[in-house]
Structure 1
């Protein structure tokens, strides 16, 4: 037997599914998770609306979706204790003068690769990745669209990665990733 909450959900929230799915597709890379994310948004909206129906459903649903994606992104950045513990089992070499000098050379190559980026791309990468500004903050500061920031970040990071891997700098990272993957981490 439907109640006011069920009626509200059916008439106000469910019609927003198309908008919600476009938002999820645009903001979450893993397409296999889109349906689960939609269901979790619905569950959160329904549960929160038990305390009182919001005046406007669309902003409420979209804010809930945004918060869910932020929560998921934060959780994905947490390193598990098991993975951290296994790093100590890898018996990495101690820091020797040779490794220290190699690290300085790698850093110089990175700075050179950064300097080789086009000026706007370099500025976007520096503001976003070094200064830690959000995509929106970078766009506002530079007076460009957010999707331009996104494209410049992708272009810049790809160019930096190509330059570093061309000099063999990324080889150690790949070996470490391979070791962790073999251990099931």
Structure 2
């Protein structure tokens, strides 16, 4: 005995089977899968029709066919990752920290800390708040009572000095106060 859904499916969907098969034949490269594709499509359409009948069944059928082919193509591109067997423990690379690497890391960290300590006071404070405490540029500016543009300049200067110190291996010279700096320039002249 046919239900209303069965009658709808026969009169609105199955009548387009010949056009659907031509469409699938034109667009799907694997001819041996055409019947499975059609069957899966019919299942999807029937289940969707049980929930709500589309107002344009033919358009719904062909749009669903395009979506199904797209889904299948996507699934075909997924590479499954399955173990191929046990690996010999000796073949597994273990990233152990050698004493040389550990010591080199400690030395680089020491150089960075020294370079950071030698930054000008305000520059060091801005870099700390922005990069270590991860405050926004606006928050740093409001906390220190300076403009955001000044924060930008301090960050740029601090990062440049730190990069130079790490690249050359020399910490930046400790900044002098404005008066001491002017006196040092006069002596050099």
TM-score by length of 1: 0.44
| Structure having the larger proportion of residues in helix | 1
